[in-house]
Amino acid sequence: MAVLLSPAANAFDQQSMMRVFFSIVLVRGYNQDGSLAYGSGVVIGDNKVVTNCHVLRKTNQAWVSQGEEASAIVSVRVDAMHDLCLLNTDRLQAQPAPLGSTAELAKGDEVIAIGHSNGVPAPLASRGQIKSLYPYEGGNVVRTNARFSLGASGSALFDGQGRLIGINTFKTPGRAAYFYAIPIEWLKEAEIQPAQSKLPVTGQAFWELPDEEKPFFMQVALPQLNHDWVRLQEISRHWIEAEPDNAEAWYELGTAQEGLDQPGDAEKSYRQAIAINPKHSEALYRLGVFASQRGDREEMHNVSTKLTKIDSEMAAEFNKAVGCDVNC
């Protein structure tokens, strides 16, 4: 199988990356109208492939392939709400990916997404960083800037050591999209589901629910991207009522307040986010900007130092934005 090791993978353990490239498979099938559907999957054991359930919603005949080799899908275990399906295949010869955990992750960690974006025959890599972690039903849904596109549903998100930490599942629309991976911890729930041999699979995923029923971290995404600060403030307040110790909720409230020209309230919200999660890089960044505006060099220095330890790229961006030199 040809492997496209892009420059995106260069910062990672090359040996680990080469190994996990051979854990990625194409999931293909014929739709009921005769067209070809495709997605990605990750080999996690002998004849075991994990993918998104929505990849298999419109096909009653599907298989997995890697290079010139194809393998039939014998059965599938369906966790529809989490959009995670575990496939049992026939005679699949592929290297299983080592499993990691989202519990060990932090904002700013480097990650790499590997999958068959646009249905290309060889897997492609996209490097990025963790932008947010959202605790949800026994794992952390991971938002990254590691881009993926059509055909990468069910693809892999690896940490820097080549451990599978999530399955790339959905993104927001537009060029400035947010990219989300569901946590590998959810695999345990899929493993205990009954095996079924008939396709297509059915059931709605949590990210497809009506807006008011989606998790708060999903409800805030579009208002933030669209700069709808009134709506973002409303949702964030509801989020805080439900989860007062959630740093992301406080950060989103601060973002809305800043957008509504309420800098004093925004600063208080950002400080609350930092009190909950001292490594919240975006909240630190905004507090540093406020410090710059009032000429507080000491806090600017503290923010720069903390950001350097968390996210060196963001630290460099902050230093440039506020005119800091090395002695900021």
pLDDT tens profile 142-190: 999 999 988 899 999 999 999 999 999 999 988 888 999 999 999 999 9
Give the pLDDT mean for 230-236: 99
Residue 7 has pLDDT above 90, yes or no: no
Above 80 in pLDDT, residue 69? yes
Q: Is the pLDDT of residue 6 over 70?
A: no
Which conformational region is residue 83 in: left (phi greater than 0), alpha (psi within -120 to 50 degrees), or beta? Answer: left
Check whether 5 has a pLDDT greater than 50: no
If pLDDT is split at 50, 70 and 90, which confidence band does 12 have? low
Q: Do 284 and 276 meet the contact criterion of CB atoms below 8 Å apart? A: no
- The band of 4, judged by pLDDT with boundaries at 50, 70 and 90, is very low
Give dist(CA 121, CA 134) in Å, integer: 32
Exposed/middle/buried for residue 177 (C-beta within 10 Å: 0-12, 13-18, 19+): middle
Is 10 a residue whose pLDDT tops 70?
A: no
User: In angstroms, what CA-CA distances link 98 with 67, 119, 169, 233?
Assistant: 21, 24, 19, 40
Read off the pLDDT of residues 269-321 as tens digits, 9 standing for 90 and up. 999 999 999 999 999 999 999 999 999 999 999 999 999 998 888 999 999 99
β pairing state of 139-144 and 124-136: antiparallel
Average pLDDT, the chain: 92
CA separation for the pair 152, 278 (Å, rounded): 34
pLDDT tens for each residue of 40-61: 999 999 999 999 999 999 998 8
The per-residue pLDDT for 327 is: 57
Q: Kindly compute the dihedral angle of the four CA atoms of residues 101, 121, 171, 174, in this order, to the nearest 10 degrees.
A: 150
Nearest alpha carbon to residue 301 among 288, 311, 313, 310? 288
* Residue 326: per-residue pLDDT: 59
Angle between helices 312-322 and 281-293 (to 10 degrees): 10
25/310: higher pLDDT: 25
CA triple 93-94-97, angle to 5 deg: 150
- Cα gap 232→222, rounded to integer Å: 9
What is the rounded distance in angstroms from the CA atom of residue 135 to the CA atom of residue 88?
29
Dump pLDDT digits (tens) for 101-158.
999 899 889 999 999 988 888 899 999 999 999 999 999 999 999 999 888 999 999 9
Domains of the chain are 11-96 (2.40.10.10), 102-189 (2.40.10.10), 211-322 (1.25.40.10)
| 1, pLDDT greater than 50 | no
Q: What is the largest CA-CA distance in the chain?
A: 66
Distance CA 203, CA 311 (A): 39
Mean pLDDT, residues 2-21: 61
Q: How far is CA 159 from CA 24, 44, 251, in A?
A: 15, 15, 25
Q: Where are the alpha helices (DSSP H) in 136-246?
A: 187-191, 216-219, 221-225, 229-242
Integer Cα distance of 244 and 82 in angstroms: 25
